[in-house]
Chains A and B, each alone.
Chain A
Amino acid sequence: MTVYTTACPRNCYSTCTMRVQVQDGRIRSIEAHPANLAAGESVCLKGLSYIERTTSKNRLLYPLRRKADGSGFDRVSWAEALRVIASRLEALKTAHGPQSVLYYTGSGTKGLLNSVGMSFWRLYGGCTTTYGDLCWPAGLEATRLTLGANEHNAPWDLANARLIILWGKNSAETNVHQMVFVQQALERGARLVVVDPRRTETAEKAELLVQPRPGTDGALALGIAHQLIATDRVDRAFVERHVLGYPEFRDMVRGFPPEKAAEITDVPARYIERLAQMIGTIRPLTICAGFGMQRYSNSGQTMRALIALTALTGNIGIAGGGWQFANLQSAVFDEVKDPLAFYPPAEPDGVIRVAVSTARLGRDMLATRNPPLKMAWVERGNPVTQNPETHTVLEAFRSLEFRVVVDQFLTDTAQEADIVLPAKTFFEQSDVIGAYWHPYIQFKQKILEPPGEVKPESEIYRGLAAQLGMPAEQIEEAFPGPSEAEVEAWLERKLRSSPEISLDRLRQGPLLPPGAQEVAFEDFVFPTPSGKIELLSLEAARRWGADPLPVYGEPVESVRSGDLATGRYQLYFMTPNTKNRIHSQFGNLEMIGAVSEPGPRLQINPKDARARGIADGDPVRVFNGRGSMQAEASWDFSLKPGCVAITNGWWISEGGTVNFLSLGRETDMGHGAAFHENLVEVEKASE
């Protein structure tokens, strides 16, 4: 029995450090490494389920090629798979140029080695790729514009807060380790407010659940700001010294009394006043904002309005206080940090065409010309279920001549492929990863040999480069060799820019990056153009055509917009994440299936259910002009009436993806996807 230290590279706040026991080539147990102070209690249930995932009977162990008649796949050798792919790549390059190939990556796994993909496409001569991101750009951009950097206090500092507002964040399911610090704060007498139309597991721990109409959080924040100013609860000294644009902001929110905010948000004015009273008098205050709320067409401005509340009350740069959205302190190896890395380059290099919006993937793929897209290579992602407008994404993939998907399982996207290549799990190749909640840099150590014929991506690209006849010295320079020693040497080269970080030190456990701040902005240095917190951002206006102030605008798709096309659909369709999955990962495991509902479940308030003759447990059809899906109705007395919810990440084979109903639409800032902004109708389904 050997115990290894490694780290989980999922797109997840916690990025747990793990101690993994291996016996006879199999994982026997997974525990949390106590040196990770943010997630030291234990890994989550998904982390435990890796014991099954690595050896799952559904795991892809060999390359697959679609049968000639299109029905399913045949196992093929690596030599054959690479030969087929290489001949396609050569033909496409000659006929249409390298940019007829779309290279699409999702957030399935993190690590420095992810960059080998782009190295390959550069060697090939170029490709087309995406800009923007599904996850969090509106919030990142709003924070960058306002505070200058996406950094926040260390996770454990939350225990020092006296008032915590989890705004659109369901930490109990999506960041379970944060609940440890929430509970520590509550034990010390702190107060907790949750803002969410749903009564989540997290809301249950709060004294007050504020339930605004989806997409109106910005109006709620402006109503609170109005009240803070009207009742003289602004930290004037702080604002004087560190805030740009306060007078303009003050004049703007003058038009936002609680009554107006109440009318917009559906939150009674007395609660807005009470929240303002709490925010204005309880210090330190930390606002933790979730990601779902910033997937609306107005959410860049929403997030800026929320940040303003922490700035007005002087809660930035102090222990127990602040704005927590993303903490990118560990991103020390990125030349360009997110969100700027998401944006199309100002000056295209002529090799990599960054031309497809992630938010509008299907439609942009279909519309691309000169050259049109002919082939797609997908890795670390499942765009068929996870990107907006599944129908259009499917149409776009099906219109291509050739598709390659690299994955561990036969996902709905892999099902569309001509060639499916078996992907490693994170236990099967070493890498170095950062995080976005805690500031640790970690060594994700290899502890298992890949099973079957699985190859890590670096090996796939090496093989393909050789097949294409690329010069050996270019291959050696671009990719690490197959052995662990060569991978580690490649990683050491990447770490050279930070002498404090070495693999040997990382092997002992997680490391803080040089200059990491436990209390972000404690020096009150804000890397904005003005050096201050910018409530007034000229860059917001210049880059996004937005109002320089965080004004409120009604979301495009809203029950109040009076839009003829959406007028038939009067229910807000929320598509949150669940504790059981990371997007579309994990749900296919038996361990997770045993603790999860068997298929998509629609939370609906009995008021809305009864109006439609829907009983608890009835099969229902959720639909709008874009598509539909089936689910089982589940009455939820405390869900805000007018809202329904199905967790995202279900596979089409499991009952359907929520993105059959979403629209590819960008957020007002950051090229994010505003795909949580959907109106639907629900009816009882015939069984």
Chain B
Amino acid sequence: MSRDFLLDLNKCTGCAACRLACEIENRLESGDSWRQVLTFNERRHPAAPLYHLSLACNHCGSAPCADACPAQTIKRDEVTGAVLIEEKGCIGCRYCSWACPYEAPRFSEAHGVMTKCTFCAHRLAEGREPACVSLCPTGALGTTPAVDGRGASVVPGFHADGHEPRIRFVPLRRGFRAPEMTSGLADPGIAAEPARRAPGAGRRISLRGEWPLVGFTLAASGLVGWVAAAMQCGISVSATVFPALAAGAMAASAAHLGQAGRSWRAVLNLRRSWLSREVVLYGLFVLVSLVWLRGTPGLQFAGWAAVAAGVALLFAVDRVYDVAGKEMSAHLHSAGALWMSLYLASVLSGSAAAVAVVGAAKCGLYLARKGRMRKRGRRWRPALSAARVALGLLVPAASIVIWAEAAWAAALGLAVVGEALDRIEYYLELRIETPRAWMEAALPADDSRHDLGVHWVRSNHEP
């Protein structure tokens, strides 16, 4: 019978025994616990309560990690309802960790695969509670029979997001308020200070870990753009450089896997995973392009087929990122794969009109995005933006309009640099959903205690 985790916010003191219990039971290294204990209102703002969320895998009804897994190695255990990673089949691509908003799947550096909470399925099978539950010294963490159609109760800092997470909360008895304090609000100036800490900690997708993916996306966009430009205006495609680039990009992204030897498994989840589709479409695009390259000039059809496969590939590439960057679809991002490819094709074709039109559209998307970020108080990097627009968009356009053929190579080089910068920014700006980020967002950013109160009253009254 399926069970849900049940966390009583009144009883939890944030002691972290559950984290240790998990490490001990599952023989994990210190600090690699599958459970985390997050603190709401760490700076103890008097306008907000202080409480803790002890979170591991929520074994969601929708299990977005399982949908995302290209190797189809995340499955639900029929007996316990636990969502389990079969480590033998894991290729270590980390994509499940992008899809999970609860930070449950963790990459094991030691084994090159993803690991996560198993709901202690081995203990459940023996009729015992999970270790974290058994070893909670205050009885705050428990399990309760799952009720169909009943999602997690709402607590500020925790989003169910339609994933049907199998965790429920016993809300604070006092409501979402701090205790009355005899000197807590003595100074109104202090209450006006923001309760939030500087954000930034705990991102699952970091640029440092993902350089091969930046390279792969750029290469894929460039290669598709190259074939498209060739079909459109007859520029030549090198029969040595093209396959070399295609193989290099593939190799780089395979090397980035924790288990490169199992990389073939990346195509197993075509039914649900955009990553599987991306991999297959990449293969298809490269294969058809090679047929076209080797074929007689009469094989125009193959060239257009390659372009079609390429466009489908780039569409898939953009969809891959949708699981992480919920704030903005990659299709509408100036560094989306389709947009990058279209722009590079324009530059490659040397058509001043195409460069001007596509460049202007991209420039518009770019500036609009930066404007939004600035308005929301996010870091928008004006110097980098200026460089990106000037070098990557204005100079190539100007040089093609003014000098045409003569400056083509330089224009192409600058355009590639500009796209690379934009793509790097795309990673830096990805807003990753994490419970920590939700908790920060639910805290007063300034003296907005009234707004906060309204928000909590609402949350508190939801079923």
* A joins B in a complex: yes
Pairwise interchain contact B15-A48, C-beta atoms closer than 8 A: no
- Give complex CA distance A280, B189 in Å: 36
Pairwise interchain contact A199-B139, C-beta atoms closer than 8 A: no
* A630-646 vs B, Cβ < 8 Å mask (1 yes, 0 no): 00001111111100000
Stretch at the interface among B42-50, B146-154, B256-264, B390-398: B42-50
- Give complex CA distance A199, B30 in Å: 29
Q: A607's contact among B24, B174, B189, by CB below 8 Å, is which?
A: B189
- Give complex CA distance A203, B208 in Å: 42
- Give complex CA distance A590, B20 in Å: 11
A85 at interface by CB-CB < 8 Å: no
Pairwise interchain contact B183-A186, C-beta atoms closer than 8 A: no
- A207 neighbours in B (Cβ, 8 Å): 174, 179-180
Could you tell me which residues of chain A, from 556 to 598, have a CB within 8 Å of some CB in chain B?
579, 590-591, 593-595
- Give complex CA distance A173, B13 in Å: 8
Pairwise interchain contact B30-A593, C-beta atoms closer than 8 A: yes
Given A29-B24, A593-B30, also A44-B17 (CB < 8 A): yes
Most B CB contacts (10 A, CB to CB) among A593, A594, A638 go to A638
- B124 neighbours in A (Cβ, 8 Å): none
- Give complex CA distance A41, B139 in Å: 6
* A26-63 vs B, Cβ < 8 Å mask (1 yes, 0 no): 00010110000001011111001101100000000000
- Give complex CA distance A204, B134 in Å: 24
Pairwise interchain contact B17-A591, C-beta atoms closer than 8 A: no
Pairwise interchain contact B15-A44, C-beta atoms closer than 8 A: yes
Pairwise interchain contact B179-A616, C-beta atoms closer than 8 A: no
A210 at interface by CB-CB < 8 Å: yes
- Give complex CA distance A29, B184 in Å: 42
Stretch at the interface among B190-198, B246-254, B358-366, B455-463: B190-198
A267 at interface by CB-CB < 8 Å: yes
- The smallest beta-carbon distance between A644 and chain B, in angstroms, is 14
- Give complex CA distance A503, B189 in Å: 63
- The smallest beta-carbon distance between A585 and chain B, in angstroms, is 16
Pairwise interchain contact B136-A605, C-beta atoms closer than 8 A: no
Q: Residue on A with the closest CB to B195?
A: A637
A439 at interface by CB-CB < 8 Å: no
- A401 neighbours in B (Cβ, 8 Å): none
- A186 neighbours in B (Cβ, 8 Å): 10, 173
Pairwise interchain contact A51-B24, C-beta atoms closer than 8 A: yes
* B26-69 vs A, Cβ < 8 Å mask (1 yes, 0 no): 00001101000100000111100111000000000000000000
- Give complex CA distance A180, B12 in Å: 10
Q: A31's contact among B10, B135, B138, B187, by CB below 8 Å, is which?
A: B135
Could you tell me which residues of chain A, from 201 to 223, have a CB within 8 Å of some CB in chain B?
201-211
B137 at interface by CB-CB < 8 Å: yes
- Give complex CA distance A267, B186 in Å: 11
* B217-260 vs A, Cβ < 8 Å mask (1 yes, 0 no): 00000000000000000000000000000000000000000000
Pairwise interchain contact B24-A45, C-beta atoms closer than 8 A: no
- The smallest beta-carbon distance between A580 and chain B, in angstroms, is 8
Pairwise interchain contact B179-A208, C-beta atoms closer than 8 A: yes
Given A45-B17, A267-B182, also A616-B197 (CB < 8 A): yes
A268 at interface by CB-CB < 8 Å: yes
Pairwise interchain contact B134-A211, C-beta atoms closer than 8 A: no
- The smallest beta-carbon distance between A118 and chain B, in angstroms, is 35
Pairwise interchain contact A42-B17, C-beta atoms closer than 8 A: yes
- Give complex CA distance A48, B23 in Å: 10
Given A173-B13, A271-B182, A591-B30, also A29-B25 (CB < 8 A): yes
B14 at interface by CB-CB < 8 Å: yes
A331 at interface by CB-CB < 8 Å: no
Given A203-B179, A271-B182, also A637-B193 (CB < 8 A): yes
Given A29-B25, A208-B179, also A180-B13 (CB < 8 A): no
Given A209-B181, A594-B30, A594-B31, also A606-B190 (CB < 8 A): yes
- The smallest beta-carbon distance between B351 and chain A, in angstroms, is 53
Q: Residue on A with the closest CB to B11?
A: A183
- The smallest beta-carbon distance between A159 and chain B, in angstroms, is 13
- The smallest beta-carbon distance between A632 and chain B, in angstroms, is 13
Pairwise interchain contact A635-B182, C-beta atoms closer than 8 A: no
Q: B11's contact among A179, A210, A593, by CB below 8 Å, is which?
A: A179
- Give complex CA distance A104, B20 in Å: 34
- The smallest beta-carbon distance between A584 and chain B, in angstroms, is 19
- B195 neighbours in A (Cβ, 8 Å): 637
Pairwise interchain contact B50-A204, C-beta atoms closer than 8 A: yes
A266 at interface by CB-CB < 8 Å: yes
Chain B interface size, under 10 / 10 to 19 / 20 to 34 / 35 or more: 35 or more
- The smallest beta-carbon distance between B449 and chain A, in angstroms, is 12
A194 at interface by CB-CB < 8 Å: yes
- The smallest beta-carbon distance between A38 and chain B, in angstroms, is 12
Q: B20's contact among A45, A204, A634, by CB below 8 Å, is which?
A: A45
Given A41-B137, A199-B179, A203-B179, also A638-B20 (CB < 8 A): no
Chain A interface size, under 10 / 10 to 19 / 20 to 34 / 35 or more: 35 or more
- The smallest beta-carbon distance between B363 and chain A, in angstroms, is 38
* A290-313 vs B, Cβ < 8 Å mask (1 yes, 0 no): 000000000000000000000000
Q: A199's contact among B50, B51, B187, by CB below 8 Å, is which?
A: B50
Pairwise interchain contact B193-A183, C-beta atoms closer than 8 A: no
A353 at interface by CB-CB < 8 Å: no
- A201 neighbours in B (Cβ, 8 Å): 13-14, 50
- The smallest beta-carbon distance between A42 and chain B, in angstroms, is 4
- Give complex CA distance A177, B134 in Å: 14
A176 at interface by CB-CB < 8 Å: yes
A172 at interface by CB-CB < 8 Å: yes
Given A29-B25, A204-B51, A637-B46, also A43-B137 (CB < 8 A): yes
- The smallest beta-carbon distance between B128 and chain A, in angstroms, is 11
Pairwise interchain contact A176-B137, C-beta atoms closer than 8 A: yes
Q: Residue on A with the closest CB to B186?
A: A641
- A267 neighbours in B (Cβ, 8 Å): 182-183
Could you tell me which residues of chain A, from 525 to 562, have a CB within 8 Å of some CB in chain B?
none
Q: Residue on B with the closest CB to A608?
A: B190
- Give complex CA distance A203, B46 in Å: 12
Given A199-B50, A207-B180, also A48-B135 (CB < 8 A): yes
Q: B10's contact among A183, A208, A605, A606, by CB below 8 Å, is which?
A: A183
B430 at interface by CB-CB < 8 Å: no
B388 at interface by CB-CB < 8 Å: no
- B181 neighbours in A (Cβ, 8 Å): 199, 208-209, 211, 638
B21 at interface by CB-CB < 8 Å: yes
- The smallest beta-carbon distance between B2 and chain A, in angstroms, is 24
B178 at interface by CB-CB < 8 Å: yes
Pairwise interchain contact B179-A209, C-beta atoms closer than 8 A: yes
B16 at interface by CB-CB < 8 Å: yes
* B167-178 vs A, Cβ < 8 Å mask (1 yes, 0 no): 000000110001
Q: B184's contact among A39, A41, A637, by CB below 8 Å, is which?
A: A637
- B25 neighbours in A (Cβ, 8 Å): 29
B319 at interface by CB-CB < 8 Å: no
Pairwise interchain contact B43-A635, C-beta atoms closer than 8 A: yes
Given A45-B15, A45-B16, also A205-B183 (CB < 8 A): no
B19 at interface by CB-CB < 8 Å: yes
- The smallest beta-carbon distance between B201 and chain A, in angstroms, is 11
- The smallest beta-carbon distance between B30 and chain A, in angstroms, is 4
Q: Residue on A with the closest CB to B32?
A: A594
Q: A194's contact among B17, B19, B179, by CB below 8 Å, is which?
A: B179
Q: A177's contact among B31, B45, B137, B173, by CB below 8 Å, is which?
A: B137
A-B contact pairs, 26 of them (CB 8 A): A29-B24, A31-B135, A42-B134, A42-B136, A43-B135, A45-B19, A52-B30, A176-B138, A177-B137, A177-B138, A180-B137, A183-B138, A204-B49, A204-B51, A209-B182, A209-B184, A266-B183, A271-B182, A590-B30, A595-B37, A607-B190, A617-B198, A635-B193, A637-B43, A637-B46, A640-B183
Interface contacts beyond A49-B20, A209-B180: sample of 14 additional A-B pairs, CB < 8 Å, sorted by A:
A41-B136, A41-B137, A41-B139, A45-B16, A48-B20, A183-B10, A194-B179, A207-B179, A590-B31, A594-B31, A595-B16, A635-B193, A637-B190, A637-B193
Which 6 pairs between the two chains have the least Cβ-Cβ distance?
A594-B31, A590-B30, A172-B13, A595-B16, A638-B44, A45-B17
